[in-house]
Homo-oligomer: A and B are copies of this chain.
Amino acid sequence: MAPRKEQQIFQATLELLAAKGYEGLTVEGVAERSGVNKTTIYRWWPSKAALLAAALVEADLLTMEPPDTGGLRGDLEALVEGVAALLTRPPASDVAVAALGAAVHHPELAEATRGFFADRFAREAAVFERARRRGELSAEADPMLIVDLLAGAVWLRAVFRALPLDDDFAARAVSAVLDGSLAR
């Protein structure tokens, strides 16, 4: 169940967060920006933290459909491209980076961030289930570890190092975790 205009409410929540930070995010501001009554918003989400948690998981702006290219390598490269787009292409990147950065400072947002990553991983799991059925993955391969290596590398390179991602970044990152880096 959801209120009418749910996506407008989520969109306004994420835009306000990106523009003003978590401190500047208010249910009043979301109400004004989305044209929805404040009491309606409070009826569905009891706090701005709850509203942001819902927006992170459910907003169309941050939606990700897990890829299905027919092979694990192609699927993982598409996943990396998706994370790279999320973290570097406005407007989604303004929102995603602001929300994830805010979560570091605001303990009441930790739950929202965990929810965001758990939801993503639940969708990504299909990629690994298909790869197992095709016999592509080693028995020891750990899907969450693979996702965290790849998505973490994008975050480090694009956000902390503030370096551009080369065109072949996704292919090279995926090759590292699939093929390894040892001399043969």
Residues of A whose CB lies within 8 Å of any CB of B are 21, 97-98, 100-105, 110, 113-114, 117-118, 135-142, 145-146, 148-157, 159-162, 172-173, 175-184
- CB-CB nearest 7 A-B residue pairs: A152-B152, A101-B104, A180-B180, A141-B181, A152-B156, A148-B153, A148-B156
Q: Is the interface of A mostly helix, strand, loop or mixed?
A: helix
Q: Are B101 and A137 in contact (CB under 8 A)?
A: no
Q: Choose from B21, B135, B176, B182 the contact partner of A145 (Cβ within 8 Å).
A: B176
- Other 16 A-B pairs with CB < 8 A, given A100-B160, A140-B181, A178-B182: A97-B104, A104-B104, A104-B159, A113-B160, A113-B162, A114-B162, A137-B182, A138-B180, A138-B183, A141-B181, A141-B182, A146-B181, A148-B153, A152-B156, A155-B155, A176-B177
Among A103, A114, A152, A172, which residue has the most Cβ atoms of chain B within 10 A?
Answer: A152
Known A152-B148, A152-B149: A138·B173 in contact at CB below 8 Å: no
Q: Which residues of B contact A179 (CB under 8 A)?
A: 180, 182
Say how many copies of this protein the assembly contains. 2
CB A141 to nearest CB in B, in angstroms, measures 4
Decide if A176 touches B98 in the complex (CB within 8 Å): no
B176 touches A21 (CB 8 A): no
Residues in chain B near residue A151, CB distance under 8 A? 152, 156
CA distance A179 to B149 in the complex (A): 14
Rounded to whole angstroms, the CA-CA distance of A95 and B159 in the bound complex is 18
Beta-carbon contact of A176 and B113 below 8 Å:
no
Pairwise interchain contact B176-A142, C-beta atoms closer than 8 A: yes
